């Protein structure tokens, strides 16, 4: 690509809030433009960076549209291109580079003004993109390439995991693939450990793909030394030949009233039934679930409990669901939480697969129950570390799918996930939420997500929810709605200097695994080194 080729046109009008109108030269073809691409604008003092968010056609004289030249008259069309008829780009300015020397050292800055009239506009070059997104390094992880370019777009992972993040997109757009890639990135570059609640058994050992590969490797196949697979369904894991590290059993006595509150909808409980749970738990203590299931008649209820017969029945019907979940036993002698923490402390990422128990009840119950207790541990350990000025626990990222089930406005205040999302990284725990229906997530939680990566969304409400509070939201909306139906994502937030559309890095071919650095010896060495560094 020559410089000449990159020339697009000039700035003709615009504003900082609404974006800039760029008039395309006759030589630049409208058809070669695409929303989501980057341009640079050479101002007098600094260079601006912006994203194309709309493309339109204009005429200088309405008569051209009224009596257009005949289609066969290529000559007239060619003459008119860029003169009587012209393309316009709508560009959202995002960053500036340069200015005085100080600014050069500081790197790209958010825009505070617009370029002057007639400033020259060009397609951003590979080098421009590198200046802004930087190359791969110890912190930066290659997540994908910008549209029509080979530059690597990199995320600053230590920065990313400081806050909770979200991956969105409708079904089949590449959320799972993106998540896998991001998990690898975190595993390699962030110094954080992950706990993944793997509803569909896609992350730990092996996942499926719609493409010709059929199957793709999971994290443990690629990085056996730094990933452990826990399972709730040993039989299913065995059948799939997963090398599991631990079989999870949870006792009824580990279930707390908050867990039930969260399951109100899926267990079909009335509000009164949920209130009754708290009474029962106060009365029976840890054994409240078993005790409640054992009551045969409301008359048998101990004194002081004010629970109506129908409420009790409603509750018992709900709790009976637990009996169908074999990983739940009245009492479990193993302390799952402790086991998970042991792994996490060693810097080993834990993927908990659900086997056949893919129904939402099991998922909500287990994810909430375990996360709450792990979080409690993190909190007390962090507080202790602060008090004693010792090393706090390794940063933890908890990945949950179907996030709106945990974080919808009704329950977000009650769940541990709502707490984690809201308080940022107070206790070294953050979330990676994956959801195809972001409009179902509490607004406040959404606003706390540091970086959002979103694949195609076509529901207006979902698009609004994801873009709420983002500057240039209207413009980004059209970009988001025009993403390819697979393997393309819009990334914006803390971990990138400006919103960017990427073609997500390829995952699933042998070459891709190699690119991800699935080298056993190396990983082991690094993990060991990390541990040494961390624990001295």
Ligand X SMILES: Nc1ncnc2c1ncn2[C@@H]1O[C@H](COP(=O)(O)OP(=O)(O)O)[C@@H](O)[C@H]1O
Residues, the chain, total?
536
The contact mask relative to ligand X for 183-222 (x = CB under 6 A, - = no) is --------------------------xxx-----------
CB contact at 8 A, 132 and 49: yes
The contact mask relative to ligand X for 170-189 (x = CB under 6 A, - = no) is -xxxxxxx------------
Question: Pick from another protein, ligand X, Mg ion, none: which does 234 bind, CB < 5 to 8 A by kind?
Answer: none
Question: Pick from ligand X, another protein, Mg ion, none: which does 507 bind, CB < 5 to 8 A by kind?
Answer: ligand X
CB contact at 8 A, 143 and 502: yes
Q: How far is the CB of 516 from Mg ion (least distance, A)?
A: 19
Burial of 416 (0-12, 13-18, 19+ CB in 10 A): buried
Between 452 and 505, CB nearer to ligand X: 505
* CA distances in angstroms from 32 to 5, 6, 29, 117, 147, listed in the order given: 12, 11, 5, 24, 12
Q: How far is the CB of 12 from another protein (least distance, A)?
A: 14
Footprint of another protein on this chain (CB under 8 A)? Answer: 26, 60-61, 63-64, 67, 69, 73, 75-76, 78-80, 82-84
Distance CA 292, CA 275 (A): 14
Give the number of residues in contact with ligand X, rule: CB under 6 A. 18
Q: Strand 227-231 to strand 349-353: parallel, antiparallel, or no bridges (unpaired)?
A: parallel
User: Which two tokens mark 473?
Assistant: 């939201």
CB atoms within 10 A of CB 497: 18
Contact range with Mg ion by CB under 5 A, out of 175-183, 255-263, 273-281, 414-422: 175-183
User: Which two tokens mark 23?
Assistant: 């008039």
The contact mask relative to Mg ion for 126-165 (x = CB under 5 A, - = no) is ----------------------------------------
CB atoms within 10 A of CB 286: 15
User: Which two tokens mark 85?
Assistant: 């008829």
Distance CA 20, CA 291 (A): 67
Q: How far is the CB of 69 from another protein (least distance, A)?
A: 7
The interface with ligand X within residues 482-521 (CB under 6 A) comprises: 486-487, 504-508
Residue 404 binds ligand X, judged by CB under 6 A: no
User: Which two tokens mark 7?
Assistant: 């020339």
Question: Pick from Mg ion, another protein, ligand X, none: which does 177 bind, CB < 5 to 8 A by kind?
Answer: ligand X
Q: At what angle do helices 271-284 and 309-320 cross, to 10 degrees?
A: 80
Question: Pick from ligand X, another protein, Mg ion, none: which does 173 bind, CB < 5 to 8 A by kind?
Answer: ligand X
Contact range with Mg ion by CB under 5 A, out of 15-23, 174-182, 187-195, 300-308: 174-182
Between 82 and 355, CB nearer to another protein: 82
Distance CA 101, CA 89 (A): 31
From candidates 131, 145, 176, 518, binder to Mg ion by CB under 5 A: 176
Q: How far is the CB of 176 from Mg ion (least distance, A)?
A: 3
Nearest to 463 by CA among 450, 476, 447: 476
User: Which two tokens mark 11?
Assistant: 């700035």
User: Which two tokens mark 151?
Assistant: 């530059």
Q: How far is the CB of 157 from another protein (least distance, A)?
A: 50
Q: Is 390 left (phi over 0), alpha (psi -120 to 50) or beta?
A: beta
Binding site for Mg ion (CB under 5 A): 176
Binding site for ligand X (CB under 6 A): 169, 171-177, 209-211, 486-487, 504-508
């Amino acid at each position: 690509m020559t410089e000449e080729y990159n020339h697009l046109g000039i700035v003709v009008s615009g504003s900082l809030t609404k974006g800039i109108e760029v008039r395309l030269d006759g030589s630049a073809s409208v058809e070669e433009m695409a929303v989501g691409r980057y341009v640079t604008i050479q101002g007098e003092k600094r260079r601006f960076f912006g994203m194309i968010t709309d493309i339109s056609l204009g005429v200088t004289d309405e008569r051209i549209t009224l009596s257009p030249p005949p289609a066969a008259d290529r000559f007239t069309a060619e003459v008119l291109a860029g003169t009587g008829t012209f393309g316009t780009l709508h560009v959202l300015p995002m960053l500036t580079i340069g200015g005085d020397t100080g600014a050069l050292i500081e790197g790209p800055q958010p825009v505070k003004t617009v370029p002057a009239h007639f400033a020259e506009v060009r397609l951003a070059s590979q080098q421009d993109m590198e200046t802004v997104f930087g190359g791969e390094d110890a912190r930066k992880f290659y997540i994908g390439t910008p549209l029509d370019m080979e530059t690597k777009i990199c995320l600053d992972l230590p920065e990313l995991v400081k806050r909770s993040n979200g991956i969105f997109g409708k079904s089949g757009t590449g959320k799972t693939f993106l998540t896998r890639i991001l998990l690898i990135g975190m595993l390699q570059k962030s110094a954080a450990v992950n706990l993944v609640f793997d509803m569909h058994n896609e992350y730990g050992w092996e996942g499926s793909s719609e493409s010709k590969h059929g199957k793709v490797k999971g994290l443990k196949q690629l990085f056996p030394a730094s990933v452990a697979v826990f399972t709730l369904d040993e039989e299913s894991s065995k059948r799939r030949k997963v090398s599991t590290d631990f079989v999870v059993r949870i006792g009824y006595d580990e279930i707390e009233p908050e867990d039930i509150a969260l399951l109100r909808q899926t267990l079909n409980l009335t509000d009164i039934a949920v209130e009754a749970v708290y009474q029962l738990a106060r009365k029976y203590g840890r054994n409240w679930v078993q005790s409640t299931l054992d009551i045969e008649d409301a008359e048998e209820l101990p004194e002081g409990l004010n629970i109506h017969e129908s409420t009790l029945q409603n509750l018992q019907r709900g709790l009976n669901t637990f009996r169908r979940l074999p990983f739940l036993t009245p009492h479990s002698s193993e302390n799952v939480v402790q086991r998970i923490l042991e792994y996490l402390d060693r810097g080993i990422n834990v993927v908990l697969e659900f086997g056949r128990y893919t129904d939402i009840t099991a998922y909500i119950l287990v994810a909430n129950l375990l996360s709450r207790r792990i979080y409690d541990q993190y909190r007390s350990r962090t507080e202790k570390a602060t008090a004693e000025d010792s090393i706090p626990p390794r940063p933890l990222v908890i990945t949950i799918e179907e996030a709106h089930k945990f974080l919808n406005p009704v329950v977000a205040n009650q769940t541990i996930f709502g707490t984690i999302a809201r308080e940022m990284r107070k206790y070294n725990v953050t979330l990676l939420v994956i959801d195809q229906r972001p409009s179902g997530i509490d607004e406040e939680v959404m606003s706390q997500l540091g970086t959002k990566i979103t694949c195609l969304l076509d529901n207006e409400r979902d698009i609004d929810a994801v873009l709420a509070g983002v500057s240039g939201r209207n413009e980004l909306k059209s970009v988001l709605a025009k993403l390819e139906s697979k393997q393309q994502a819009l990334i914006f937030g803390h971990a990138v200097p400006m919103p960017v559309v990427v073609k997500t890095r390829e995952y699933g071919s042998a070459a891709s695994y190699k690119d991800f650095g699935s080298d056993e010896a190396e990983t082991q060495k690094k993990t060991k080194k990390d541990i040494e560094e961390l624990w001295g």
